Amino acid sequence: MIAIFKKELWSYFGSWPAWLVIGALSIIGGLFLFFFENDFNIFDIGSASLQSYFVLAPWLLLFIIPALSMKTLAEEQQSGTLYWLFSQPLKVSDIVLGKFLAVWLVALLCLLPSLVYFYSVYSLGVPAGNLDLGATLGGYFGLSVLAAAFSGVGIVASALSQNQVMAYLLGVVLCFFMYFGIEQLASYKLLGGADYVLSSLGFYQHFVAFTRGLIDTKDVFYFLLVVGLCLFLAKIFVEKKK
């Protein structure tokens, strides 16, 4: 598993993909938070808070993480190297886990430049430092586990697809549905009391709880369950390709 993890990291950082993704995410986030006139702009809101970032970041990750994960298994199959991996003394679970951890780590590194936003907002407060640290730290923790869930979904999409383009499109659709689609379906209140149950199946409700500074074990367990289920499904789909 460690060998696969290192191989994937080298494929990201040995060339331009990871650096491009991290740079693009940082620039886009900075433009929306400090320059563009929009509902996320901290100066327009007039509040020294990173809540705008925690609303914006999931949408950026929703498109970025499938771009990172699309090549993990789909490219291996497309190029024929997946069958070479099968011939090595590696378990399928090691292959899947190693690739997942690499995608998740790169996704976490994409969040690292946002510490510049944190310092800026911290300094802009009146007085300086007038920032809800509980909600901020909770929001970052929420983004970390949400990134893990998106990474797991992206790995499943890559395991299901024959090429990278299909893996990316499927990954974006699945991440969008799990984060926003389920929440929207529940908001129509078509199922009565079951709408709450439907809403709790999606990522949004569990993530929002973290941004309020509430780190509940049931929300943590939910994301761990999602990641575990995704890795299990990816393992099954890869094994069928043997």
Note the pLDDT of residue 130.
Answer: 67
Note the pLDDT of residue 68.
Answer: 92
| Of the candidates 152, 149, 119, the residue with the CA atom closest to the CA atom of residue 133 | 119
pTM here is 0.92
Q: What is the DSSP letter of 190?
A: -
Are 90 and 29 a contacting pair, CB within 8 Å? no
Are 210 and 194 a contacting pair, CB within 8 Å? no
Residues lower than pLDDT 50 in the chain: none
Note the pLDDT of residue 43.
Answer: 75
Note the pLDDT of residue 8.
Answer: 87
Note the pLDDT of residue 128.
Answer: 65
DSSP 81-96: HHHHHHTSS--HHHHH
Domain ranges of the chain: 2-239
Dihedral sign for Cα 131, 57, 102, 98, please. positive
